[in-house]
Each structure stands twice: as structure tokens, then as C-alpha cells.
Amino acid sequence: MTEKIRASLRDSKTARWFALGLISLTMFFAYFFVDVASPIKNQFEINYHWSSEVFGFYGGMEFFFNVFLGFLIISGIILDKMGIRFTLITSGLTMVAGGFLKFYALKFIDPISVSSVFGYELPTTALYACIGFAVFGVGVEMAGITVSKTIVKWFKGRELALAMGLEMAIARLGVFAVMWLSPIFANNGSSIPSEWTTANAYLWGLVFLTIGLLTFFIYTFMDVKLEKEIGDSEKTEGEEEFKVSDIGKIFANPGFLAIAGLCVLFYSAIFPFQRFATEMLSGKLGIDAKEAARYVSMFPIGAMILTPFIGFFLDAKGKGASMMVYGAILLTISHLIFALVPSAAFTPIIAVITIVILGIAFSLVPASMWPSLPKIVEDRYLGSAYGVIFWIQNMGLFGVPILIGYALSKSNPEVVAAIQRGETAVYNYTVPELIFASFGGLAIILSIILKRIDKKKGYGLDIPNKKK
């Protein structure tokens, strides 16, 4: 049996890193599509008559089905019961379907058409785009938990944190790319905002998603071979099969609950921020949206560069729980700078430094959090654990963009009125940034609690991931 395990495909460095590359490429395209609207937010106000509240509602809809219909928990159960290959292909098809509906909404629906939903009027383009985003959200989050379990399958006991860090780095490269490419795809060769073709950016995003589906499909051939090599031997280790009742054990685990809470607080201060960051920097620095988007692109690039190094350190030296504390502190500091430094004193240098601080925070917490989960829960319900934690995370990612859009409008009534009159006006983002900073403050408290739980329960979160 031992010889059989040693001879498996995952013992080949070339094979396991190639497998990582395939699944990471799909997540690169998925992250590109997630933020395709972020650097061109003002175009939705100009060409589709979306207010900031509508844009925030659209941003939150990515997580609607996952939160209110429990699709993420269902995805985790599907992953544990049906396996990685089935779930990867299902997630890829769902992303493409949702992406197509978003493209259809912006390309073929009359931009001045209005629909009523539960007595609330919003542009019809927004209604269909929101439905498409919700469908896409089911696929991208299903892909996220499946990719996480796939990496554990190939790298547990090896370079787990480094592999997860590289996957996150490649995915974040998609955010960097979209900040540069989305305005280029949308502007249709014109410098006049009203002549931009926003749907073009979505068309290219849809093409990328289709390529990502193909890379998932290619990976399944590697997974089939690995499963044949390790399947029988791993089933004889006396491990029980997953049961739906095991979900109760997940919620009874204090370490899991602490990580889940930290996850929702941290990501609620990151991803919703990305949707509004371009407009915020544009107004604060007095620059156009294209230039502001390039500043924002430094954030994922900084995180992309740092995350693999942090993963390598965690594999070799450990200190995962401590890293989460440091990351939460830096997250809070960066948002306080955005909130409290007045526009007159907010220079490009300060902007770059703050974005770098935020990028470091975005490296420290996820790079240490995701490899920590396999130390806390059993392998047989690891997929469901990822599903549950992503579900809890999605609650924040659904609600926070709506909250930020509402806070932005209510704290800037004169700006809203000016835009409605067709005038140019700049939003003040102090209140939204203070909201983001408050999430960071709560994350600091919860990360300290997690360290205490780890010390009491002996999870080994500060112990190196790589077995010697």
C-alpha cells in the first residue's frame, strides 16, 4: 500500500504544480469577470442610469442565491458527495451561463427601460444583470470551494500554504488585469464617456470564462488518473464517508466559527471596497477613472507578489494565527487613512502607500486562513466546511455593497441631486471608509480570540504546514 501511495501522480512536482496551474487559470478568469464593472462604475450612471444604490445592489447580488437559497452549503455537500470533477465542471458551466445573461442585459435590453420589483423601481438592465450576477455567483463560489479542496488533495503535507498562496496570487492577477483592460474594452476607441460600449467589457469577460471552463475540463483528466492511483488506498484508512449530519459538527467547532467570523469581516472590507475604489480614488485625487483604476490595480498586484512568499513562510515556519492578527491591523490602518486624510492632503504617494498596506493585509490573512481550515476540520467534510465558510462570507459580501451604496447616497445628497440633473459631481467616501475600517477593528478582536482558541484546542495553526 505504501509503495502505491508513493508512486501516485501527486508525488511528481511537475504534475501537481501543473494541476495547480490549470485550476488557477480558471480562477484568474473568474476574478476578472467578478470586477469587470468596478473600473467603469461611472459608465453605468451615464449610459444605463444606475444610481450608486443600484450599483451597490448589483454588487451584492453576486451572493444572493448563495446566501438566501443556501447554494454554497449545497455546493459543499455536492462536492463531498459527487467529487471534485463533477463539481468543477458544474461550476464552470454555471459561471458561463450567468456571464452570458449579464452580457445580454447590457447589450440587448433598452437602457431606458424600467422594471418594478416588489414595489421598487430599477433599470431593466440592472434587473437582468443582477439575475445573471446571482447565477454567476453560484458558479464562482462553487469553483472557489472546489479549488480549495483540490489543492488540499494535491498538496496536503507538502507545500499547501504556498500552493494556496500561488492560486490566490494568480486569481488576483485577474483583478489587476480587469482594472487595466475593462476600460480599454469598454471605451470603443472613444474618449467621450457617453460613447463607451460597456457591454464589450462583458463580452471579453465571457470569452475568458469559456476558456476557463476548458481548463477545468482539461484538469479532470489528471484527476481521473490520480483518483485511480490513490482511491483504493485512501478508502482503506478507516475514514468514515461524509454524511449530511456532519454539518452540525462544523458549526459546533469553535475554531471553525472563529475563522468563519474573521473571514466574513475581512473580505467584507476588501471585495466591496474594490467595487467602489476606482471612483473613490478618482474623486480624492482629482484624476480620471482610467488613471484611478491603475492605482487600484496596484492593490491586487502587491497581494499577488507577497502571498506566495507568505505561503512559503507558513509552510516552513508556521505562525498562521499570528499572521491573521497582523493582517487585520493593517487592514484597519489602510481604511482609516482613506477615511480620515482630507482630499487636500491626499497625494498620489499617500494613495500608493495606503494601497500597498492594504495589499499586505490582503496577503497575510487569506494566505494563513485557508491552509488553517484543514487543521481544524476532518477531510471527509472539508468540502462542506469550505462551503459553509464561504456561505457565511457571502452574507457579508451580499449585504455590504448594498450598505456602502446606501451610505454613499445618504451621506452625499447634494451629489446625488447633481447627478440626477446631469451635472458632474464627486462623492465623499468618508462614511463608507469608516464602515470598512470598523470591519477591520472587529477582525482584530476576532483574530486574537482565534489565537486563544488555538492555544486551548491545540489545532496547531502556528505550526508549519510542511511535514518533515
Predicted pLDDT of residue 1: 40
Mean pLDDT (whole number) for 128-156:
93
Predicted pLDDT of residue 236: 37
Least confident segment among 246-250, 370-374, 449-453 = 246-250
Predicted pLDDT of residue 241: 56
Q: Residue 5 pLDDT more than 50?
A: no
Q: Residue 30 pLDDT more than 90?
A: yes
Q: Please give the residue that has the higher pLDDT: either 1 or 427.
A: 427
Helix (H), strand (E), coil (C) string for the chain: CHHHHHCCHHHCHHHHHHHHHHHHHHHHHHHHHHCCCHHHHHHHHHHCCCCHHHHHHHHHHHHHHHHHCCHHHHHHHHHHHHCHHHHHHHHHHHHHHHHHHHHHHHHHCCCCCEEEECCEEEEHHHHHHHHHHHHHHHHHHHHHHHHHHHHHHHHCCCCHHHHHHHHHHHHHHHHHHHHHHHHHHHHCCCCCHHHCCHHHHHHHHHHHHHHHHHHHHHHHHHHHHHHHHHHHHHHCCCCCCCCCCHHHHHHCCHHHHHHHHHHHHHHHCCHHHHHHHHHHHHHHHCCCHHHHHHHHHHHHHHHHHHHHHHHHHHHHCCCHHHHHHHHHHHHHHHHHHHHHCCHHHCCHHHHHHHHHHHHHHHHHHHHHHHHHHHHHCCHHHHHHHHHHHHHHHHHHHHHHHHHHHHHHHHHCHHHHHHHHCCCCCCCCCHHHHHHHHHHHHHHHHHHHHHHHHHHHHCCCCCCCCCCC
| Alpha-carbon separation of residue 112 from 40, 50, 57, 102, 253 (angstroms) | 19, 10, 18, 17, 50
Predicted pLDDT of residue 366: 80
Least confident segment among 298-302, 427-431, 451-455 = 298-302
Span 367-408, pLDDT tens digits: 888 888 888 887 777 778 888 888 888 888 888 988 998 999
Predicted pLDDT of residue 245: 65
Predicted pLDDT of residue 2: 42
Predicted pLDDT of residue 11: 85
Mean pLDDT (whole number) for 198-209:
94
Count of CB atoms situated within 10 Å of the CB of 194 = 8
Span 151-173, pLDDT tens digits: 989 998 888 888 988 898 898 88
Biggest CA pair distance of the chain: 74
Predicted pLDDT of residue 468: 57
Q: What mean pLDDT, rounded, does the chain reach?
A: 86
Residues 6+ apart with CB under 8 A from 163: 16, 17, 20, 151, 154, 155, 311
Residues 6+ apart with CB under 8 A from 62: 34, 133, 134, 136, 137, 140, 397, 398
Predicted pLDDT of residue 417: 87
Q: Residue 3 pLDDT more than 50?
A: no
Which residue has cell 480620471? 288
Which of 129, 117, 135, 113 has its CA nearest to residue 55? 129
Length of the chain in residues, anyone? 468
User: What are residue 199's phi and psi, to 5 degrees?
Assistant: -60, -25
Span 290-324, pLDDT tens digits: 788 888 888 777 777 787 788 888 888 878 889 99
With bands split at pLDDT 50, 70 and 90, how would you rate the model's confidence at 436?
very high
Q: Please give the residue that has the higher pLDDT: either 434 or 1.
A: 434
**CA 104 to CA 430: how far, in whole Å?**
35
Mean pLDDT (whole number) for 25-29:
96
Which of 61, 44, 28, 212 has its CA nearest to residue 133? 61
Q: Write down all domains in the chain, each with its CATH number in brackets.
A: 14-228+242-457 (1.20.1250.20)
Residues 6+ apart with CB under 8 A from 63: 134, 137, 141, 394, 395, 397, 398
Count of CB atoms situated within 10 Å of the CB of 371 = 26
Which residue has cell 480549495? 148
Which residue has cell 499577488? 304
With bands split at pLDDT 50, 70 and 90, how would you rate the model's confidence at 89?
very high
Predicted pLDDT of residue 213: 97
Q: Residue 233 pLDDT more than 70?
A: no
CB 23 within 8 A of CB 223: no
**CA 93 to CA 103: how far, in whole Å?**
15
With bands split at pLDDT 50, 70 and 90, how would you rate the model's confidence at 239?
very low
This prediction's pTM: 0.74
Q: Residue 60 pLDDT more than 80?
A: yes
Cα 153 to chain centroid distance, Å, stands at: 21
Which of 306, 323, 324, 276 has its CA nearest to residue 430? 276
Mean pLDDT (whole number) for 420-425:
78
